[in-house]
Amino acid sequence: MSTVSLEGISLHVADLTKSLDFYQRLPGVEILVNIPDRFVRMKLGNSYLHLVKAPVELRFHMEMGTENLMDMYTTLQSAGIEPEGPPAMEQWGRINLWVKDPDGNLLQFDAEPETLSTA
């Protein structure tokens, strides 16, 4: 059975430029990806912070890595947790599986494309 590990948090922001200006002033922040007016990935110690230009009513989502997304998909279903859909390739090159908790908070399970397995 696959396990999960918390990889980071994605904050949904209204003004990506302002948010980037704020967060990049934190000591030790390393900007890894910057897609202007859409997405920023930063490394903070051993974790990641993403800034995503998105509707602010969706304030954040949690990102968790797993070894096998198909296994996680069936494990969640067996536990009575219905994902938003099967694992799917995202435009940024990772395969994701999305789940909402009872309050509507988004949980993102992801893996590198080569780890998607139906075994």
DSSP string, 72-102: HHHHHHHTT---SSS-EE-TTS-EEEEEE-T
* Nearest CA among 54, 53, 29 for reference residue 42: 29
Q: Which residue has the tokens 């302002």?
A: 18
Total number of domains in the chain: 1
Contact by Cβ (8 Å): 51, 40: yes
DSSP string, 14-46: S-HHHHHHHHTTSTT-EEEEEETTTEEEEEETT
pTM of the model: 0.65
Q: Give residue-wise pLDDT tens across range 45-62.
A: 788 999 999 876 767 788
Residue 103 or 61, more confident: 61
Range of the domain at 15: 4-115
Q: Give residue-wise pLDDT tens across range 51-100.
A: 999 876 767 788 888 888 898 899 899 889 899 999 998 877 788 999 88
Contact by Cβ (8 Å): 62, 101: no
Longest Cα–Cα distance of the chain, Å, equals 44
CA atoms within 13 A on the CB side of 49: 19
Contact by Cβ (8 Å): 103, 87: no
CATH code (residue 77): 3.10.180.10
Res 43: pLDDT: 93
